[in-house]
C-alpha cells in the first residue's frame, strides 16, 4: 500500500491533530504523501506546521492554469470516463444547490490528483473531512484513480449531510471513519443501512511524547484557559458574562483565550459590555508548545461550545492533568463526566458561571483526582501511536 492524505487547506493551526496522525502513521512504517487543495490563508505560528507546508503538494494553489489545461485534455483523451464523472458531479452540484464553478474545480483537481497518484504509485487516498477533499477523492476514484476513505468530524459536516452528498461519497468509498460514537450514530441515521458496515469509529489522538508521563501537580491559579477558533459554534462570546457573574465570589478570576476567527469582534464587544477587560485576554493563535505551557499554568480549560466534534483541546488539557468546564453536546460526554470536569447545557449562562465557580472552589486534592482521571482516559483512548495501527489496517483492507 502506498498512502496519500488529502485535505482542503493544510496545514492549519486548528488541524495539528492531522499532522500528528500522519506522523504516527509514518512512525509505524507507512510513508504518507501529503496533498491539499490550497494553502491556508492565515499565518502559521507553529514551526512544525511551517515545516509541514513544505512537505505538502497543492492541487490548486499556484496551478490554476494547469488545472484548466488538464481538465480539457482529459475530456478529449478519456471522453467516456469524463462523461461518467460529469454525471456524478452534476448530482453533487444539485445536492449543494449550485456552485458550477466550484464543482468544476473539484473535477479538475481530481484529474490532477489521479495523474499524480499514478506517477507516484499511490494506491490509497484518505481525506479528512467529508466536504471538498472527499468530493475530490471520490471523483478521482471514478476517473480510475486510487481507492479512498474519509474521516467525518463535525460539527458543520453533520448539519448538512444531504447537501454534502454524504451517501454518494460513502457509496464509492471503502470506509468512513467517525471520530466518536455520536458521529457514527449521526452517520447511521442518514445513510442507508446497506452502507453502515463501512463506518468505523476511530478517534483522533495526541502524541503523548509531548506530555509528561505523570501529570504535573494541579494549578491553584485563578486563571482559566480557552483554546480554539473564535467562532459561533464554540460560543466564546458567552465567556465574558459568565466570568463577570462568577467574579463576585472570586475576585482574582481571569481567563486567557488562544485562537482567532470571525467571532473576535463580538467577543471584544461583550468584554466591553460586561466590564471584564481586566480579566480576559485574547492572545490569537499560539504555537503548540505555548498552548501546552499555558494549560499547565491554568486551573481548568473552559470550552462553552454549542457545536463540536470531539475537541482536541479537551484531550490536551486531560493529558496535562487539567479538568475541563464544557458543554453536554456531541461527542464530549463520551470523554468528559463529573469525575474529570464540569458539564453544563449549551447556552445556559447561569450554569456556566456556576461551573466556573465550582472549579475555583475545588481544592488541590479534588483537582489532582480529576486530573489523574482525565489523563487515564487519554492514555486509554487517544494515544495516537495506538490509533495509527488501526488506521493503517483499515486503509490496507482489501489491498
The pLDDT of residue 244 is: 98
pLDDT band at 158 (very low <50, low <70, confident <90, very high): very high
pLDDT > 70 fraction of the chain, expressed in percent and rounded: 99
The pTM of the full predicted model, rounded to 2 decimals, is 0.94
pLDDT band at 399 (very low <50, low <70, confident <90, very high): low
* Dist CA 240 CA 259 (whole Å): 16
Average pLDDT, the chain: 95
Of the candidate ranges 79-93, 104-118, 133-147, 242-256, the one whose mean pLDDT is the lowest: 79-93
The pLDDT of residue 398 is: 63
In this predicted structure, the answer to whether residue 281 has a pLDDT above a threshold of 90 is yes
In this predicted structure, the answer to whether residue 8 has a pLDDT above a threshold of 70 is yes
The pLDDT of residue 172 is: 96
The pLDDT of residue 366 is: 98
In this predicted structure, the answer to whether residue 190 has a pLDDT above a threshold of 90 is yes
299, 219 Cβ separation under 8 angstroms: yes
In this predicted structure, the answer to whether residue 377 has a pLDDT above a threshold of 90 is yes
pLDDT in tens, 24-51: 999 999 999 999 999 998 899 999 999 9
215, 371 Cβ separation under 8 angstroms: yes
In this predicted structure, the answer to whether residue 81 has a pLDDT above a threshold of 80 is no
Q: What domains are defined for the chain?
A: 3-205+383-396 (3.40.50.2000), 208-381 (3.40.50.2000)
In this predicted structure, the answer to whether residue 191 has a pLDDT above a threshold of 90 is yes
Amino acid at each position: 500500500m502506498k498512502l496519500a492524505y488529502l485535505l482542503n487547506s493544510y496545514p492549519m493551526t486548528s488541524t495539528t491533530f492531522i499532522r500528528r496522525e500522519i506522523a504516527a502513521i509514518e512512525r509505524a512504517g507507512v510513508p504518507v504523501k501529503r496533498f491539499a487543495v490550497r494553502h491556508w490563508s492565515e499565518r502559521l505560528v507553529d514551526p512544525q506546521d511551517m515545516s509541514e507546508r513544505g512537505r505538502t503538494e497543492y492541487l490548486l494553489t499556484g496551478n490554476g492554469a494547469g488545472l484548466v489545461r488538464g481538465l480539457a485534455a482529459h475530456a478529449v483523451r478519456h471522453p467516456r470516463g469524463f462523461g461518467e464523472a460529469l454525471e456524478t458531479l452534476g448530482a453533487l452540484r444539485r445536492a449543494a444547490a449550485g456552485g458550477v464553478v466550484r464543482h468544476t474545480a473539484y473535477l479538475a483537481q481530481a484529474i490532477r490528483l489521479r495523474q499524480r497518484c499514478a506517477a507516484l504509485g499511490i494506491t490509497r487516498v484518505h481525506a479528512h473531512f467529508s466536504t471538498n477533499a472527499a468530493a475530490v477523492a471520490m471523483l478521482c476514484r471514478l476517473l480510475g484513480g486510487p481507492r479512498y476513505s474519509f474521516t467525518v468530524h463535525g460539527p458543520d459536516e453533520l448539519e448538512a449531510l444531504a447537501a454534502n452528498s454524504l451517501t454518494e461519497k460513502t457509496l464509492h468509498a471503502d470506509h468512513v471513519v467517525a471520530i466518536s460514537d455520536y458521529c457514527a450514530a449521526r452517520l447511521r441515521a442518514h445513510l442507508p443501512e446497506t452502507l453502515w458496515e463501512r463506518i468505523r469509529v476511530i478517534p483522533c489522538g495526541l502524541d503523548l511524547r509531548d506530555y509528561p508521563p505523570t501529570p504535573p501537580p494541579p494549578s491553584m491559579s485563578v486563571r482559566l484557559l480557552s483554546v480554539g477558533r473564535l467562532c459561533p459554534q464554540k460560543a466564546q462570546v458567552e465567556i465574558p458574562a459568565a466570568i463577570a457573574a462568577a467574579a463576585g465570589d472570586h475576585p482574582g478570576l481571569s481567563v486567557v483565550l488562544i485562537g482567532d476567527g470571525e467571532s473576535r469582534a463580538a467577543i471584544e464587544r461583550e468584554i466591553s459590555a460586561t466590564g471584564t477587560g481586566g480579566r480576559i485576554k485574547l492572545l490569537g493563535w499560539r504555537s503548540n508548545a505555548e498552548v501546552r505551557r499555558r494549560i499547565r499554568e491554568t486551573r481548568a480549560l473552559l470550552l462553552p461550545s454549542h457545536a463540536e466534534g470531539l475537541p482536541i483541546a479537551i484531550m490536551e488539557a486531560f493529558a496535562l492533568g487539567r479538568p475541563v468546564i464544557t458543554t453536554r453536546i456531541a461527542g464530549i460526554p463520551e470523554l468528559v463526566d463529573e469525575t474529570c470536569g464540569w458539564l453544563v447545557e449549551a447556552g445556559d449562562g447561569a450554569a456556566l458561571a456556576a461551573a466556573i465557580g465550582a472549579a475555583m472552589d475545588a481544592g488541590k486534592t479534588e483537582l489532582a483526582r480529576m486530573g489523574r482521571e482525565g489523563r487515564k482516559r487519554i492514555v486509554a483512548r487517544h494515544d495516537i501511536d495506538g490509533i495509527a495501527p488501526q488506521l493503517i489496517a483499515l486503509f490496507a483492507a482489501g489491498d
